[in-house]
Amino acid sequence: MSVICLIALLSASEILSASSCWHRRLSTVLNIAIVPMVLTFFLIVGYKVGEVIGS
Protein backbone atom coordinates (compact mmCIF):
# COMPACT_ATOMS: atom_id res chain seq x y z
CA MET A 1 0.00 0.00 0.00
CA SER A 2 2.79 2.42 0.83
CA VAL A 3 4.47 1.68 -2.51
CA ILE A 4 1.31 2.74 -4.30
CA CYS A 5 1.22 5.95 -2.25
CA LEU A 6 4.89 6.61 -3.08
CA ILE A 7 4.23 6.09 -6.79
CA ALA A 8 1.22 8.42 -6.62
CA LEU A 9 3.22 11.15 -4.85
CA LEU A 10 6.12 10.87 -7.30
CA SER A 11 3.69 11.00 -10.23
CA ALA A 12 1.92 14.03 -8.79
CA SER A 13 5.25 15.75 -8.28
CA GLU A 14 6.28 15.15 -11.90
CA ILE A 15 2.93 16.19 -13.33
CA LEU A 16 2.65 19.33 -11.21
CA SER A 17 6.23 20.37 -11.94
CA ALA A 18 5.34 20.56 -15.63
CA SER A 19 2.21 22.63 -15.06
CA SER A 20 1.60 26.25 -14.15
CA CYS A 21 0.33 25.17 -10.69
CA TRP A 22 3.86 24.47 -9.45
CA HIS A 23 4.90 26.51 -6.42
CA ARG A 24 7.82 26.31 -4.03
CA ARG A 25 5.47 25.55 -1.13
CA LEU A 26 3.87 22.67 -3.03
CA SER A 27 7.31 21.29 -3.80
CA THR A 28 8.22 21.44 -0.11
CA VAL A 29 5.03 19.68 0.97
CA LEU A 30 5.50 16.89 -1.56
CA ASN A 31 9.16 16.46 -0.60
CA ILE A 32 8.22 16.21 3.08
CA ALA A 33 5.99 13.27 2.16
CA ILE A 34 8.24 11.67 -0.48
CA VAL A 35 11.69 11.67 1.15
CA PRO A 36 10.83 9.51 4.20
CA MET A 37 8.89 7.09 2.02
CA VAL A 38 11.81 6.69 -0.38
CA LEU A 39 14.23 6.10 2.50
CA THR A 40 11.90 3.51 4.01
CA PHE A 41 11.49 1.82 0.64
CA PHE A 42 15.26 1.48 0.21
CA LEU A 43 15.67 0.18 3.76
CA ILE A 44 13.01 -2.49 3.16
CA VAL A 45 14.57 -3.50 -0.17
CA GLY A 46 18.03 -3.65 1.44
CA TYR A 47 16.71 -5.78 4.29
CA LYS A 48 14.97 -8.19 1.88
CA VAL A 49 18.10 -8.48 -0.29
CA GLY A 50 20.20 -9.15 2.79
CA GLU A 51 17.67 -11.75 3.90
CA VAL A 52 17.87 -13.55 0.55
CA ILE A 53 21.67 -13.40 0.39
CA GLY A 54 22.00 -14.57 3.99
CA SER A 55 19.93 -17.70 3.55
pLDDT in tens, 1-55: 788 999 999 999 888 888 887 788 888 899 899 999 999 999 999 999 999 998 7
DSSP code at position 23: -
pLDDT of residue 43: 94
pLDDT of residue 21: 73
Integer-rounded Cα radius of gyration of the chain: 15
pLDDT of residue 49: 97
Q: Which residues contact 40 (CB under 8 A, 6 or more apart)?
A: 2
pLDDT of residue 24: 80
DSSP code at position 19: S
H-state helical runs in the chain: 2-17, 24-54
Query: The whole model's pTM is what?
Result: 0.73
